[in-house]
Structure formats: C-alpha cells, structure tokens
A and B are shown apart, each in its own frame.
Chain A
Amino acid sequence: EPEVTQTPSHQVTQMGQEVILRCVPISNHLYFYWYRQILGQKVEFLVSFYNNEISEKSEIFDDQFSVERPDGSNFTLKIRSTKLEDSAMYFCASRGAGQDNEQFFGPGTRLTVL
C-alpha cells in the first residue's frame, strides 16, 4: 500500500540555521499539507498546497516558512532561521482528488532546535 514518507526522521539544528524537511507524498495525490505538533500540544495546521501554489496557510506559517514541490515528487518545508520554539514534530500529509478523499499522513520529522 502506498505511503507518505518523510526524511529525516529526526533533525537537530542550531538556532538561526536553515532546515529543510522533506516529504514524498503518495504519487497520484494532488493536495499536500504540513502540520506540526509541539510536544504535549495539539497537531496544528501550517499550510496546504495545490496546483503548485499555497492554497491556505495558518497564522503560524509566517515569512520564516516556505514550501516547494521542486521536482514533481518531493514536497519540502523550509524554515529559514530556526528558533527554539520551532522544535516540534512536523507531519506531511497528502490527499487525492475528490472532496471525500482522506488525508494520509507521513510518520513525521522530529525537529530539535538547540
């Protein structure tokens, strides 16, 4: 069964550094999402992406964040200058066409900012 994959599983970085989190969505899916979950808190929506552009973003998704689908298979989340409070689990999700299709989640990348 096809799955969403994410790399790396764990990323440790210094405050102020740039990080890129990578996701490979399910191959025929059209909608892509990033969520994050700070330890002990709820899963929070960051951004959705469709037809090569952002379709919706939350208040959390400020200028520090960007997303890209560089090659038709990968879907990346870049954090330009990481802060301590960016430490969280980051989940990628993808969805096929059709209103009722569910979002399939990846296993997550744990980002630790020191």
Chain B
Amino acid sequence: AQRVTQPEKLLSVFKGAPVELKCNYSYSGSPELFWYVQYSRQRLQLLLRHISRESIKGFTADLNKGETSFHLKKPFAQEEDSAMYYCALRRAGGGADGLTFGKGTHLIIQP
C-alpha cells in the first residue's frame, strides 16, 4: 500500500521568510512524487513533479529516497503563496494510475 504523510496541517510564516512544507511517503516500489496547489476558490493544479526537476514560482522539491521525503521549499515566501498544498504519489511509469494524496498543508503567508 502507498501512503503520503504531510505532518503539518497549518504552516504560518512571514513574508520574506523561508518556507518548507514536509512530505514523507511510504511505497515499496519506485514512486513519482508531485506537489499540487489549491489557491482560494480555485481548482487543484500541479505545481511541480520530481521528474522534471524544475523550479516553479520559486518552489523546489527534491526526492530523497533514503529518507522517503519530498519536501517543498521556497527561500523567500510571498503573500500570493498562501494556499493549500498537497503532496501526491503514484507508481513510476503508472501513467494511468490514480494519485495518492496527503492530507494537505494550509500555508499562510503573513504580511
């Protein structure tokens, strides 16, 4: 069985401070990891995935297979980063597979 754990339900940081949203996973095979974001009153949208190794909106995430983690980081938070963030997993190469989501972290950036 696969599981995604996001230990923080709520994370509040000040504008300009660094942000780290934690994600740990449990999966016996080779995973693909994703971060989805949901801004207020908007739909879930893909922020980034580990295979593309991109930085999107200043966010990065590195897959650490040893620690089974995929933490999302941004060096300087902006107010528009306030949103719900969901870490998700699927089987590597499992293009048709459904995603397994964590419970989400509500990120609040204070001015």
**Chain A contact residues, CB within 8 Å of chain B:** 3-4, 31, 33, 35, 41-48, 50, 55-56, 58, 91, 95, 98-108
Contact = CB atoms under 8 A, between A and B. Distances in A.
Contact of B44 (A47, A91, A98): A91
Contacts of A58: 98
Interface residues of chain B: helix, strand, loop or mixed (majority): loop
28 contacts: A31-B95, A31-B96, A33-B98, A42-B86, A42-B101, A42-B102, A42-B103, A42-B104, A43-B44, A43-B99, A43-B101, A43-B104, A45-B100, A45-B101, A46-B98, A48-B96, A48-B97, A50-B96, A55-B96, A56-B97, A91-B44, A98-B95, A100-B52, A100-B95, A104-B45, A105-B44, A107-B43, A108-B43
Nearest to B86: A43
Given A41-B103, A48-B97, A99-B93, 12 more contacts: A3-B43, A35-B98, A43-B44, A45-B101, A46-B98, A48-B96, A58-B98, A95-B95, A98-B95, A100-B52, A103-B46, A103-B99
